[in-house]
Structures are given as C-alpha cells and as structure tokens.
Chains A and B, each alone.
Chain A
Amino acid sequence: MNEFTTWDILRNLLLAARWTVLLSLVSFIGGGLVGAALLFARIGKGRIGPTFVKAYVELFQGTPLLMQLFLAFFGLGLFGVDVPAWLAAGVALILWSAAFLTEIWRGCVESIARGQWEASSSLGMGYLQQMRHVILPQALRIAVPPTVGFSVQVVKGTALTSIIGFVELSKAGTIVTNATFEPFTVYGLVALIYFCLCWPLSRSSQILERKLNVAHRNH
C-alpha cells in the first residue's frame, strides 16, 4: 500500500489540467470560428440561413451538454470508426461553444443602431464592406467582455468530457480518488485548480466591461 502525499495528488492533477486547458483552447477557438460562420448566416439576408442558425442555437442551448457529448461519442461511432474520447469531446464542445458565441455576437451586432446600416448602404457599400468597415469594428468592442466571460463556461464545460472517458482534470480527480481514498482533499484541489483557471477570466471580463463600458456609450 502506497502512501500519497498532498504533493503527489496535486502534481498528478496539475498534469491532467494541461488537457483541460488544451481542450478549452481548442473548443473556444474552434467554436469561435464556427460561431463566426454561423453569425454571418444568421444576420445575412435570405431565409434559409437565419432559420437554420436559429434552430441550431435552440437545439444546442436547449439540450444538456452532457447529452451532446454522448451523441457525438456514439453518433460518430455509427460511421463504423472507433471514436476516441478526445475527438468526440472536441467536436461536441466546438459545436456547443459555437451556438453560444454566435448568439452572444448576434446581440452585439444587433445593438449597433440601424442608422449605421442605412448610412453605410447609402454610401454604396455592399454587405461585406458594411460589415468590414462599419459594423464589426464597433460590434467587436462590445463583444469582448461577454466573449471572455463565456470562456469560463467553456473551461467548466470540459469537466463533463470526463464522463465519456476523456482524461482531463475531473477524470484525473476521480482516478486519484480511487487510488487514495481521499475524496475531500482531491475534489477540493480539483475545484481549486478550476477556480485558478476560471477566476482570472471572470475578473478580466468584469474589468473589460467596466473599462470599455461600451454598452452605454454607443447611442
């Protein structure tokens, strides 16, 4: 029977936390790219694009992330390939983040006064030019604090990937608990590590919001 020191526990958890960080980054960046594509479809003209994105957002915001992970894990498996947990986790988290980010950013774009669209179109700008020169530069400023705030949700969301067997911080917590029989210490430390990852993001979101304070300056 081995004895485990607190340092042993912490060291193993920190090693696993690298995967939490990596998965969070991949999900956030991937979700941002997919979300941006969805955003253009959502606010563009035409009927199919907006309707599709609305349904997409409703679907991903109206169902548990855990179910999305299960469906990605078993759904990809239907194609006859052996799906590793990291792949299912990445796909599900990217699609999930995309739904939330596109909805956050839509709010930011729609908060730009209508007159801006009309003014730029009266200058003869096309849709892409309007976005590039008029709408996005303003919307991006508004979008920064809530986007940083959402990154906290992504980090916390990665904890659920432990359930489909991806070994990140939470899964490591369970494994270490099973070896040490010290759930109080282990889950306490796991919570602490998540807190250290998330709190700086939460704080910077709040500070950015105060600093940019764009919400009340726009009109």
Chain B
Amino acid sequence: MNYAFDYGWLLVYWPVLVKGIAITLELTLVGGALGVALGIACAWARALGPGWLRPFVAAYVELIRNTPFLIQLFFIFFGLPALGVRMGELEAANLAMVINLGAYGCEIIRAGIQATPNGQFEAGASLGMSRLQTFWHVVLIPALQRIWPALSSQIVIVMLGSAAVSQIAAEDLTFAANFIQSRTFRAFESYFVATLIYLVLAIALRQALRGLGWTLFPKRTAR
C-alpha cells in the first residue's frame, strides 16, 4: 500500500463539517424529543388505551420495527408526494426519525409501564388522583426512570442511523463528508474524519442523556 494520507483539506473544509454536525445534532434533538413523546403516547395507547386503538398502534410499531430506516425515509420523501404530501428534505428527515424512534420508544416504554405493580394504580386512585394524574405521576415517571438506559441507547442508535438522511440530500454530517470527498477526492480521509466525529458525538450524547436522567429522575437514581 503506497498511499499518502492527506488531511490538509481540513483547513479549508472544516466549516462544512461544522454545519453538518449542527444539522445532525438538530435532527437528533428534534427527532429525539418528539420521538420520545410519540413513544409515550403509543405506549399509553398500547398498555392502557382504549381497545379499538391498540391494534392500530401495534400495527404501526411492527411495521416500523421490521422495515429499514432508509426505506421509511424514501417512502416519506419520494412516495408521499404522490398523495399530495410534499415536504423539504429536513422535514422529511425529521418526520422519519420521529416515526422511527416513536415505534422503538413505544416498546421500550411499554415494558416500563407493564412492570408497574397493579397496586400502584389502585394507590393512585385511592389518593383521589384522576386517571391522567395517576398515569403521569405514578406510572409514567417511574416507568421512564426504569427504562431510561434502554431509551438512551435507542436515541443514540437513531442519531447514528440519521447518517442515512444524506441520501435525500439533507445536509447532515454524512452529506458534508460526501461533499468534501467529491471536491477533494480524499474519500477515505473525509469518511474517516466524519466517522471519528460520529464516535465523539455518540459518546457525548450518551453522557448527556445519562446526565439528563439524573436531572429528570433525581430521587431514586442511585447510580
């Protein structure tokens, strides 16, 4: 192998990378927050919601969990305009991430909800709490606390999966790497740098979510 590695382009193209990182983070933040919210709603519907709603949520979860993210993305971005639903690449990327995380989050959060002992519901009711209050204070918060590590890993997985959104021309970190390699012909080096950045982002995100867990659930998190 006689190939001279060259990272000189970093001096010129670092702003492109920074912009890509910003968009990847923005997608992760929006996708993560709304995805968890959707996951909570679906978990409620599946575990405690009205009977007619459950099969629909179950179908949604199974459909999303058994198809690749890339195809979900293509379907939303290329397929939906046939039905008159048009959106920009960032909106499509965000929507795909929310729908994807919503399905995985639903299953994770549902596991947490179903681990709640029945007596807790009765205890909530006996304190005069409404069903919604009981769900929020007695069921959901401890459930989230229980499954927070699993949910955090899923959010990191969604962040890493977001590399695929470059394929619908959303200008994330992978798109930046593609752009740079098309300009500099330093394909290996650009993807190598991008990969290292993803690694740092994944580690940082994991730590941030752990910190968020401590802040959100201060009392019982002894770890």
Contacts and interface: CB of A to CB of B under 8 A. Distances in A.
Contacts of A202: 62, 65-66
B81 to A, nearest CB: 8
Contacts, number: 123
Interface stretch (A105-113, A119-127, A131-139, A152-160): A152-160
Instruction: List the 6 shortest-distance A-B pairs measured between CB atoms, nearest first.
Output: A159-B68, A64-B163, A183-B78, A198-B66, A184-B82, A62-B202
Interface of B: 1, 3, 62-63, 65-72, 74-75, 78-83, 156, 160-164, 166-167, 174, 177, 187-188, 191-192, 194-195, 198-199, 202-203
B124 to A, nearest CB: 27
Contact of A187 (B79, B83, B174, B187): B79
Contact of B74 (A70, A80, A173): A173
A190 B79 CA distance: 12
Interface stretch (A28-36, A45-53, A71-79): A71-79
A74 B191 contact: yes
Nearest to A197: B66
B75 A191 contact: yes
A170 interface: yes
Nearest to B203: A62
Nearest to B205: A62
A187 B79 CA distance: 7
Interface residues of A, number: 41
Nearest to A79: B1
A67 interface: yes
Interface in A15-63: 58-59, 62-63
Contacts of B74: 170, 173-174, 183, 187, 190
A78 B3 contact: yes
A71 B80 contact: no
Contacts of A4: none
A188 interface: yes
Contacts of A70: 177, 187, 191
Q: Which of A64, A78, A191, A195 has the most CB of B within 10 A?
A: A64
Given A71-B191, A163-B164, A184-B80, 9 more contacts: A62-B156, A67-B191, A70-B187, A75-B188, A78-B188, A152-B65, A152-B66, A194-B66, A202-B65
A62 B79 contact: no
Contact of B67 (A160, A174, A191): A191
Interface string A148-191: 00001000110110110000001001100100001110111011
Contact of B79 (A59, A77, A188, A198): A188
28 contacts: A62-B160, A62-B198, A62-B203, A63-B198, A63-B199, A64-B162, A64-B198, A66-B163, A66-B164, A67-B198, A71-B195, A74-B191, A77-B187, A80-B1, A152-B66, A156-B66, A156-B69, A159-B68, A160-B164, A170-B68, A170-B71, A177-B78, A183-B78, A183-B81, A187-B74, A190-B71, A194-B67, A195-B66
A193 B188 CA distance: 33
A84 to B, nearest CB: 16
Nearest to A155: B68
Given A63-B202, A64-B174, A183-B79, A195 B67 contact: yes
A184 B71 contact: no
Contacts of A66: 163-164, 166, 174
A71 B192 contact: yes
